[in-house]
Chains A and B, each alone.
Chain A
């Protein structure tokens, strides 16, 4: 089967940098995605990594190490609107294709 681990909660202040880690166990790994979900809202796509290294998109960056089965999402210059749940998701093909989400990290940004 597949499993993902990420911290349940993270708290940071406005303007700071925060890193949300994700470790996974899976076979047939293709890539790691990150999604943001505000309370009562739908998940929105943030980033995708298929190869090792850092992908940067504005204030958000995502990193993947396939050999360590590890990735992280880096949020810079935190804003109050960044308070949300963040999910890592692994896409794997093991006879059938499936996208598995972690349980999510709730980020609280304080003034």
Chain B
């Protein structure tokens, strides 16, 4: 089975431009999450989508937006690019929503990460 795929692999943009990053989850996975990882830091959570609805949002400006399509693939859009947006953008898919409390009879769904898109803003 194919893993999570992301496109493009690398991207170079200039300040003020717009970028669209794409992610295809593992077949059967309905949840997609997006992360930004700056070199030497942990991934920073941007969005989670489940069943085409936004289910989680990190502390990122409104220049960042995303959507999930009926086939569960996803796009991350970033407008008005800044130099500080240069990073590795990771997509992760899981069967369902991220976590739930076991006492509530809930669940944890392991996330599978894609290889990422390396975005450089000049």
Contact = CB atoms under 8 A, between A and B. Distances in A.
Interface of A: 1, 30-31, 33, 41-45, 48, 50-51, 87, 89, 91, 96-104
B50 to A, nearest CB: 10
B90 A43 contact: yes
Contacts of A33: 99, 108
A101 B59 CA distance: 13
A87 B56 contact: no
B58 interface: yes
B108 A50 contact: yes
Contact of A42 (B42, B97, B102, B113): B113
Interface residues of B, number: 31
Contact of A104 (B41, B48, B56, B90): B41
Interface in B45-82: 45, 48, 55-59
A99 B42 contact: no
Contacts of B45: 98-101
Given A42-B116, A45-B110, A101 B98 contact: no
Contact of B99 (A1, A41, A48, A102): A48
Given A91-B98, A98-B58, 18 more contacts: A31-B108, A33-B108, A45-B111, A48-B99, A48-B108, A51-B103, A87-B42, A89-B42, A91-B99, A97-B55, A98-B45, A98-B56, A99-B45, A99-B56, A101-B43, A102-B42, A103-B41, A104-B42
Contacts of A100: 45
A89 B111 CA distance: 12
B101 interface: yes
B120 interface: no
A104 B40 CA distance: 8
B114 A99 contact: no
23 contacts: A30-B99, A31-B108, A33-B108, A42-B90, A42-B113, A42-B114, A43-B43, A43-B113, A45-B110, A50-B102, A51-B102, A87-B42, A96-B56, A97-B55, A97-B97, A98-B56, A98-B57, A98-B58, A99-B98, A100-B45, A101-B35, A101-B44, A104-B41
